[in-house]
Structure 1
Amino acid sequence: MAGLQPRRRRDHRRCRDARLDLRLRRRARSGEGRRRRAGGGRPPGPVSDRPLVVWRDEHLAVVDKPAGLLVHPAPGNPGPSLVGELGDLLGGGEDPVRPGIVHRLDRDTSGLLVVARTAEAHKALSAMIADRQVTRQYSALVEGCPASRTGTIDAPLGRDHRAPERVVVGGRRPRPAITHFEVVERLAREALLRIRLETGRTHQIRAHLQAIGNPIVGDPQYGSGRRYGLDRQFLHSALLAFRHPFTGEALELRSGLPADLAAALESARRR
């Protein structure tokens, strides 16, 4: 546990209530290489309960998942899923329950994810994600505000001994987890964050933000109450950027906030 203790240095500072090592880093310079922004600027998020295919070719697709939809069927929860909705669009992988799936979003998290259409694409995309070659950026509204404008939460996550459906810092069988954040807007009671995943553990963003004392608004499982009319956590996968594994084309896909999150943000701004 020694590695979780905060350290004070000239270029480092502690986030409020943190027992984690929050290494503050300068924001990476944007625009490294020229990326093709598929689909133009930032379109609004999905307005239906069905996934929207925003980009595809014969190898892969990028879809905008609405909140409330599972990525794939789960034990004890066989309800509607992205896999069921997309059907033959997906392909590849060894698990027949989740063909084409190379990363996931929680049921109540909306936004972009990339899926494979062939076995070759599944293998290539899985390797790219493991090698951290896919940029995954999220928008989140959190309670309070982190003490620093930018930061990195580097703290292993494992299953909570008391509640196995949750993950916590230093839980059972912890695995490395790294989350970068930037404060985009400070509000009266909350802050809007831009978040970038370096790893992709289950519930990583939700658990890491709770651990530094800033749980995501609307996420009772990780310490926040319902508010602003939301019936789910304020977390949206807003950007995916990667180089196409077969053509080499630089792709950047964006998704704006869905209507429920946009309305909640406006309500928070009016407080």
Structure 2
Amino acid sequence: MSDDALELNDGDEQDLYEHLRVVVDKGQSLLRIDKFLMHRIENASRNRIQNAIESESVLVNNKPVKSSYKVKPEDVISVVLPHPPRDTEVYPENIPLDIRYEDDDVLLVNKPAGMVVHPGYNNYHGTLVNALVYHFNQLPQLPGNDGRPGLVHRIDKDTSGLLLISKNERSMTYLAKQFFDHTITRKYLALVWGDLAEDGTVTGYIGRSLRDRKVMAIYDDETKGKWAVTHYRVLERFGYVTLIECQLETGRTHQIRAHMKHIGHPLFSDAMYGGDKILKGTIFNKYRQFIENCFELMPRQALHAQTLGFKHPTKKEYMHFEAELPADFAAVLEKWRAYAKQ
């Protein structure tokens, strides 16, 4: 597959990349698509290609097809997968994992805040993927599993909560398609600055900020970003901050953090988006000390991936999981509850 992968859909949690795009020659005779791709994709077995087709990761003219589809002249064939081509070796590390569910197809992990999901610039060790590679290497070899984990979505380093991992290629493509179609249920708990009056929805095109490439900004222009939708529901009010539940319709990088900043309610203690300062409240020293104590308790954005629901790749049943708030988030909430009562 091409090294020039095209990112199709990225997310706080999800990226799909176009690994291959082929425009069929005008003189091409009719040929089954699985046979056609065997000659186009290096080291790919027919069974592997058929799994991808079954999971609707092979598109012809932007539509999924069956293995029996006959390729026609000038068809545009694309293969989408949830990861870019890997060009670096990931080494196993014996890092404890909080596993909430596991079977032959999937693994559900409750990631702690502070853990990077996958190796990258300045983070080549100690990541969730390093831990997963170790964990998978200790498992019996499964058919179709090369011993390496399949990430189908991500959450930020300092966001805690549930992450879904595939254990074989078939489940990986099946789950990735659900993320691509936005049929996965994802709900987050977030503590935001300000008193939100009512439930709502935030939309806009998310793209890199022109002032700081590390930060995402919201634009009205579709050429500057990717469409993103976040629904939020008020759970608890504390006067100067509000606890909300966010449900993602799309999964873009920093989506909740950028969306809440955009509407004037940055996440509490989110340094990257301006939430690590006193944005609401009084000028009294006692209040300032209270906020600083909260920041010290939770020196990261107040965001937790609490709920994850998906259709199981083999059982074809809907599965639903929830992860309790981690200790730092729970402690800060208790402090705000006590303060609000005063």
Q: Residue 53 of structure 2 aligns with which residue?
A: none
Q: Distance in 2 between matches of 1:265 and 1:119?
A: 40
Asked whether 1:263 is paired with 2:263, we answer: no
Q: 1:242 offset after TM fit, Å?
A: 1.4
Asked whether 1:157 is paired with 2:212, we answer: no
* Deviating 4+ runs (over 4 angstroms): 88-91
Runs of 5+ consecutive residues of structure 2 not aligned to the other structure = 1-94, 138-145, 278-290
Identity, % of aligned pairs? Answer: 39
Q: Residue 118 of structure 2 aligns with which residue?
A: 72
Q: 1:225 offset after TM fit, Å?
A: 1.2
Q: 1:89 offset after TM fit, Å?
A: 4.8
1:93-115: CA deviations, max 9, x gaps?
A: xxx9x841110010000000111
Q: Distance in 2 between matches of 1:124 and 1:81?
A: 25
Asked whether 1:85 is paired with 2:131, we answer: yes
Q: Distance in 2 between matches of 1:197 and 1:245?
A: 21
Q: TM-score, normalised by structure 1?
A: 0.76
Asked if the contact 1:50/1:65 (under 8 Å) is kept, the reply is: no
Show the 5 A alignment for 1:69-148.
Answer: 69-87=115-133, 89=135, 99-148=149-198
Q: Distance in 2 between matches of 1:208 and 1:131?
A: 21
Q: Residue 225 of structure 1 aligns with which residue?
A: 276
Q: Distance in 1 between matches of 2:134 and 2:315?
A: 23
Q: TM-score, normalised by structure 2?
A: 0.61
- SS of aligned partner of 1:265: helix
Q: Residue 246 of structure 1 aligns with which residue?
A: 314
Q: How many residues align?
A: 217
When residues 90 and 162 of structure 1 are mapped into structure 2, their CA distance, relative to the original with a 3 A threshold, is farther
1:165-201: CA deviations, max 9, x gaps?
A: 1100018730011101000001121100011011111
Show the 5 A alignment for 1:195-206.
Answer: 195-206=246-257
Q: 1:268 offset after TM fit, Å?
A: 1.1
Q: Distance in 1 between matches of 2:248 and 2:170?
A: 24
- 2:108 aligned residue (62, 86, 97): 62
Asked whether 1:53 is paired with 2:99, we answer: yes
Asked if the contact 2:133/2:149 (under 8 Å) is kept, the reply is: no
- SS of aligned partner of 2:164: strand
Greater helix content? 2
Higher relative contact order (CA 8 A, sep 6+): 1
Equivalent AA in structure 1 for residue 98 of structure 2: L
Q: Distance in 2 between matches of 1:261 and 1:209?
A: 18
- SS of aligned partner of 2:122: coil
- SS of aligned partner of 1:184: strand
Q: Distance in 1 between matches of 2:104 and 2:237?
A: 43
Q: 1:252 offset after TM fit, Å?
A: 0.6
Q: Distance in 1 between matches of 2:326 and 2:304?
A: 8
1:119-164: CA deviations, max 9, x gaps?
A: 111111110101111100000011012232x111111100001100
- SS of aligned partner of 1:270: helix
1:224-249: CA deviations, max 9, x gaps?
A: 11641211111000010111122112
Asked if the contact 1:215/1:223 (under 8 Å) is kept, the reply is: yes
Q: Distance in 1 between matches of 2:135 and 2:181?
A: 25
Q: 1:220 offset after TM fit, Å?
A: 1.3
Asked if the contact 1:89/1:117 (under 8 Å) is kept, the reply is: no
Q: 1:269 offset after TM fit, Å?
A: 1.3
Asked if the contact 1:158/1:173 (under 8 Å) is kept, the reply is: yes
